[in-house]
Amino acid sequence: MESEADHIEHMSFIYEIEASQNLNCEICFKTTQGHDLLILSCGHKYCQSCLLDYLKWSKKSMKLYPLRCPAVNCTDDIFSNYKHLIPRDDYKSLKNIRKTFELMRAKNVVWCSTINCKGYAIIKNKRSSGHCIVCNSHLTKQVDYEKERLMHDLSLLKCPKCSSLIYKEDFCMQVTCICGASFCTKCNSSNYNHNVYYCAFKPQGGRFSWWFVISFIYAYLIFPFYPALVLIYYNANWKHIWIFQNGRLQYINVILLFIFSPILFVFFLIYFSFKVTGKCIEALFDNRPISKMLKVLAGALWLSAFPLVLAGVFLAFIITIFVLPFLGLYLIISGYFK
């Protein structure tokens, strides 16, 4: 039986509306009877079904801490409102997950490296040390250069906010950590005004290599080799690619890459057009499950739209090739050429 203290805590977060009242849920906007509608501690009203769906989405999206109210411009953490909406074991489990997220966001927390240990230590600065609260292992914040090299080889990123490791997907310019921090995959900047597309174009050190600028000026002549040049630039500034990591075969792989670059050029034009057409068709049907008849319609639309998209992509590339020489001259005049 629920104790008086639990009942008071429950009523301090969730208030049931009288059954005679019919109000609208602020998520689904459906008129709901009072006993199915709840007022949260922040004053917003939601039906139980929408609240449970919101909790499932937040768990799947790793946005449990803080669990913001769905209302626009409301920053209240509404997790405590779920104490009597979900089973007690589920509530405790989610509470432990939120505690982990809270620790991950703390900059002075170092996680234990012992196998199967989930402990941590709170360390004030890089020069101090501490002991794991579970296994009592000695932990420090000193840089492990072997670990840094392994992270680099495996294309792992360290979140600038919570230090969690994130795998960097190919050509992904921005990632969001489970702690909620979004940052650039190239420079790790989490500034809201940071332009990831400009950062992707900007080389390490701020100046462009001679071959990069020359590839712009002579864009008319060497455009079939652009796939190879893009991969080389990506390998040098973003992420190491396996074809450049084979030791003695590295130079042979580069030569083969340039030989097959014209084929890759045609493939990328078709593949990119294929993906764009598919995304447009998905957006047209709002990414919802469709019937067999609608699938036939989607296929017909795809067949008719693909040539148009391919022509548009090819035209955009021609315009880009026309602009690149002027961009190359601008880089030289502006002093970005080394």
Query: Is the model's pTM score more than 0.75?
Result: no
Phi, psi of 56 (to 5 degrees): -65, -45
CB 38 within 8 A of CB 30: no
The band of 311, judged by pLDDT with boundaries at 50, 70 and 90, is very high
Tell me what the mean pLDDT of segment 151-166 comes to.
Answer: 73
Distance of CA 232 to the CA centre of its chain: 24
Domains observed in the chain: 4-87 (3.30.40.10), 145-192 (no CATH), 210-333 (no CATH)
What does DSSP assign to residue 337?
A: B
**What is the pLDDT of the chain when averaged over all its residues?**
78
Q: Does the CA dihedral 263-268-274-275 come out positive or negative? A: positive
Give the Cα separation of 192 and 179 in Å (integer): 16
Given this model, what pLDDT does residue 12 score?
A: 41
**Tokens describing residue 273:** 């057009």
Where is pLDDT greater, at 282 or 143?
Answer: 282
Q: Which amino acid is at 179?
A: C
Using CA atoms, how far apart are residues 160 and 164, in angstroms rounded to an integer? 8
Of residues 107, 82, 108, 84, the one with CA closest to residue 97: 82
Cα distances (Å, whole numbers) of residue 214 to 179, 221, 226, 237, 325? 42, 11, 12, 18, 9
Distance in angstroms between the alpha carbons of the first and the last residue of the chain: 76
The CA distance from 240 to 21, in Å, is 62
Which DSSP string corresponds to 113-139?
A: -STT---EEE-SSTT-EEE-TTT--EE
C-alpha pair distances (Å), 150 with each of 165, 189, 220, 286, 314? 12, 22, 40, 41, 40
Q: What is the DSSP letter of 40?
A: -
Q: Strand locations in 51-114, DSSP E? A: 109-111
Confidence tier at 16 by pLDDT (50, 70, 90): low
If one compares 308 and 16, the residue with the highest pLDDT of the two is 308
Q: Rounded CA gap, 47 and 104, in Å?
A: 32
Residue 329 corresponds to which tokens in the numbers above? 């001259």
CB 26 within 8 A of CB 71: yes
Give SS3 for 189: coil
pLDDT single digits (tens) 229-260: 888 877 776 666 666 665 566 778 788 888 89
Give me the mean pLDDT over the 263-290 stretch: 82
pLDDT exceeding 90 applies to what percent of the chain?
Answer: 5
The H or E element containing residue 300 is helix 292-333
Q: Higher confidence at residue 194 or residue 265?
A: 265
Q: Give the mean model confidence (pLDDT) for residues 311-328.
A: 89
Q: Is the peptide bond before 307 cis (omega within 30 degrees of 0)?
A: no
